[in-house]
Structure 1
Amino acid sequence: MNHPDRIDVHQHILPPEYSQWLRRQGVAGAGGIDLPRWTVDGALEVMEAFGTTRSILSVSTPGVHLGDDREARAMARVVNDYAAQVVSEHHDKFGFFATLTLPDVDGAIAEANRAFIELGADGVVLIANSRGTYLGDPSFDPLMEELNQHNAVVFVHPGELPGESVDGIPSFAMDFLLDTTRAAFNLVKCNIPRRFPNIRFVLSHAGGFLPYASHRISLAMVATGARDPFEALRDFADFYYDTALSGSPAALPSLLAFANPGHVLYGSDWPFAPVAAGTYFNSLLDSTETLDDTTRVEINHRNAEVLFRRFASRLTVNDA
């Protein structure tokens, strides 16, 4: 088949200083996976193998806040400066989501402004829960207001659940999916998408369990007295979703049936997801039994071209 021309909205970057800092803090991995090594050359090699022409880089869980606001602010500057430098040197290949400092709201607002105004970030990455406080919590409203003013794209990535893990079940296998689902529920329950309508939220890994269980989840809005369930369903469908580790014949039809048109984006989750996993899911996306040609083009790159200003010129060319 032709080169798929993918735009990857879910590729992780691990600046060397950040990886070293995590290990000094006793963090050797994320979600049950050892910290991988990321380099520009390695990323470009994998992108070539995957048929990816552009990637938007982001730092994964645990982010930069490990309990100390001051340390978190310093490390956020380090990782964002590093990512911005990579983009500057390879502007035709990369963009980046800026890392913020939640639950330190003041630090997050300051870094968001710096990232958008000085560094040219494509959006921000927020962990679904920050030390047990989920996105949507009223304490985060000042940051939401700031992101709304920037018309920000917010990439929501899962983290460790605020509770005990189950021995023998890696967090990435199930807990991460629940964490994203909880964040999506709380965002809608607290009416964040309607109160801050300029923010576009991208949910990792096809939104966790959300598309599959969306109607059941929406009924909980009645139980909590928070929102009309049908209105909540419309807000859930208006999120954006990536296909990282989720582009299977079992998961993808549910996602496409639920999400609004144009709201499904390609994601690889490399390097936390190994090349073999990316190759497997890419082959499913490329299969004519999984997707029709139009939908495949939309997921591979067209929907991202519409969402991100960085790709506006590409959209014009592709539409010509």
Structure 2
Amino acid sequence: MIIDVHAHVSPDAYVDAYRSARRAESGAGAAELSHVDQLAKFPGPFSDAPSQIEARLEQMDEAGVERQVLSLASLFLYFGDEKRAAAMARIANEAIAQVVAQRPDRFSMFISLPLPHAGAAVTEIDHWREAPNVVGAQVGTSVLGRSVADQHYDPVFAAIESAWAVAFYHPTGNGAGSALINDFGLEVSLGTCVEDTALAVQLAMSGIPGRFPAVRHIVPHFGGMVSLLLERLDNQGSTLRPSLAEPLSTTLREFFYDTVAHGSLPALHASCIAFGPERLLPGNDYPIVQLHEPYARTFSWIEDSDLAPSIRNRILHGLRFNHAPIVGPDEVHAGSLAAAVAALDAGFTTVVDHLHVVNSPDHARAALEAVRASGIRAMWCYGLTDANPPEPVFGSPGERRADLVCTSRTLARISSAVAVQVNGWGLVFQWSMYSRIWVVSIFTLEKVPRRIDWRVMMPNQISIWLVHEAPFGVKWKRTFGCASSHCCWMSGVVVLDRLSSTT
């Protein structure tokens, strides 16, 4: 499952309002209005018209994209007049929210902010902080010629941190304000990369990541030229700010970067080396790149690259690994509980729950307590996946296995689930797991009320959309007898507690 974090939409109502607002704003240039008119001629599903949304969904299916995180196109609502900026932000966000509401299983969104007005931006964040499928805020690399790394925007970053802790940046298309770029018509081909590079370095030098440590910064286009400049920035850039808490390269490696690069293998290789594949997120710049290649090719070129299969998989399908290092026990508890309740709501009473975010013993306890609180019947699996947390609790695989043993000793007191650990016996585990479920089904199918529906229900739960594993399940139309259930093979599987008797 691929989640495209860099996908634009240009709502018709916003384009019309933008055209009127720009004409009303003093100093509006013909070039800006010409850019608006170009959108109407764009050869791709760009607007929020129903037919274009359907065409977008068809392209997503073809490309294997499960979800797009929608953001406004490059018509940024940055106006000098605060009321006008605030009104434009609301028009844009409400229009995109309507698209998301129609297909919440396929779309999420980054809201736009009425900058440079920090107070109005905070108000807009507060308005949307509890809205479904809003996962962060989009911020331009600059606002009316002023860097967003300026301390003026500290209240905005504080509000983002308290709401979603995700900031997605995008170039404004102003060529970094340089005549050396704009006079040659290089605003898009070169200027955007310069904007990305400057923005990332400005954020690192400003201390924003230190003041708002929970915020996850997503810089587009592989961060421009950042991957090529880390050593140079440490040697020459850091000396300009001796008060920096850490080298610039250290801070820049903590950001996330999307994979929009027009199929550039050197950019892909450099970013993997500089940042690591766990810091790369699938992105397309939808639908702009479709001027040059099909939507599906934006992701298949990574699959076809010479990177190791594990690295390619981590980039394209590993968003859960990217988020796992910063997930705390409380979030594990909330996610596990929400997933279990969703399963019950869909008619499932027995599940296999794999926890792959065992960053600490507290993470394991939190997940177990959530399974118990839900009341679902579960086989709980202690995962040994290395989530690479920023401050590792387990110094070695041995320490993690020791916690597995500790978990087994306390499991009976805190959970009614089953915990298992597979020691290389995957096939045996599958047979033993399903045979136990079949045995339990013999005694529960006739006694436990459930929905009479034999297909998988609610396949795209909001609570699990960040997990890059397709939800699945099986329901039987008839009850199997003991003779039909295979022998309970448990070799190679350590069962740490009994199956829940909770119905």
* TM-score, normalising length: structure 1: 0.88
Asked if 1:315 corresponds to 2:467, the answer is yes
| Distance apart, 1:174 and its partner CA | 0.8
Comparing both chains, which one has the higher relative contact order based on Cα–Cα distances under 8 Å and sequence gaps of 6 or more?
A: 1
Q: Secondary structure at the match of 2:182?
A: coil
Which of the numbers 3, 6, 17 marks the counterpart of 1:7?
A: 3
Asked if 1:286 corresponds to 2:286, the answer is no
Superposition pairs of residues 229-248 of structure 1, within 5 angstroms: 231-248=247-264
Which of the numbers 193, 197, 201 marks the counterpart of 1:177?
A: 193
Q: Secondary structure at the match of 2:83?
A: helix
CA distance in 1, matches of 2:62, 2:303: 14
Q: Which residue of 2 aligns with 1:221?
A: 238
CA distance in 1, matches of 2:96, 2:2: 20
Q: Is residue 305–residue 311 contact of structure 1 (8 Å, CA) maintained in 2?
A: no
CA distance in 1, matches of 2:466, 2:6: 19
| Distance apart, 1:304 and its partner CA | 5.6
Q: Secondary structure at the match of 1:117?
A: coil
* TM-score, normalising length: structure 2: 0.58
CA distance in 2, matches of 1:225, 1:22: 43
| Distance apart, 1:33 and its partner CA | 6.9
| Distance apart, 1:63 and its partner CA | 1.3
CA distance in 1, matches of 2:93, 2:38: 23
Moved more, 40-49 or 72-81: 40-49
| Distance apart, 1:204 and its partner CA | 0.6
CA distance in 1, matches of 2:85, 2:279: 32
Q: Is residue 97–residue 124 contact of structure 1 (8 Å, CA) maintained in 2?
A: yes
Which of the numbers 207, 210, 213 marks the counterpart of 1:197?
A: 213
Asked if 1:76 corresponds to 2:89, the answer is yes
Structure 2 counterpart of 1:225, one-letter code? P
Superposition pairs of residues 36-51 of structure 1, within 5 angstroms: 36=42, 37-38=46-47, 39-51=52-64
CA distance in 1, matches of 2:219, 2:292: 23
CA distance in 2, matches of 1:169, 1:274: 21
Q: Cα 1:311–1:295, aligned 2, differ >3 Å: closer, same or farther?
A: farther
Q: Which residue of 2 aligns with 1:255?
A: 271
CA distance in 2, matches of 1:49, 1:318: 16
Q: Is residue 72–residue 101 contact of structure 1 (8 Å, CA) maintained in 2?
A: yes
CA distance in 2, matches of 1:63, 1:175: 16
Q: How large is the Cα RMSD of the aligned pairs?
A: 2.6
Structure 1: which 5+ runs fail to align?
none
Structure 2 counterpart of 1:80, one-letter code? N
What's the CA shift string for 1:51-74, capped at 9, x where partnerless?
211100001323111332211111
Aligned length: 313
Q: Is residue 320–residue 466 contact of structure 2 (8 Å, CA) maintained in 1?
A: no
Q: Is residue 8–residue 70 contact of structure 2 (8 Å, CA) maintained in 1?
A: yes
Moved more, 299-308 or 62-71: 299-308
What's the CA shift string for 1:263-301, capped at 9, x where partnerless?
1010011112225434554342121x4332222222223
Which of the numbers 218, 222, 232 marks the counterpart of 1:206?
A: 222
Q: Secondary structure at the match of 1:85?
A: helix
CA distance in 2, matches of 1:249, 1:43: 27
| Distance apart, 1:151 and its partner CA | 4.1
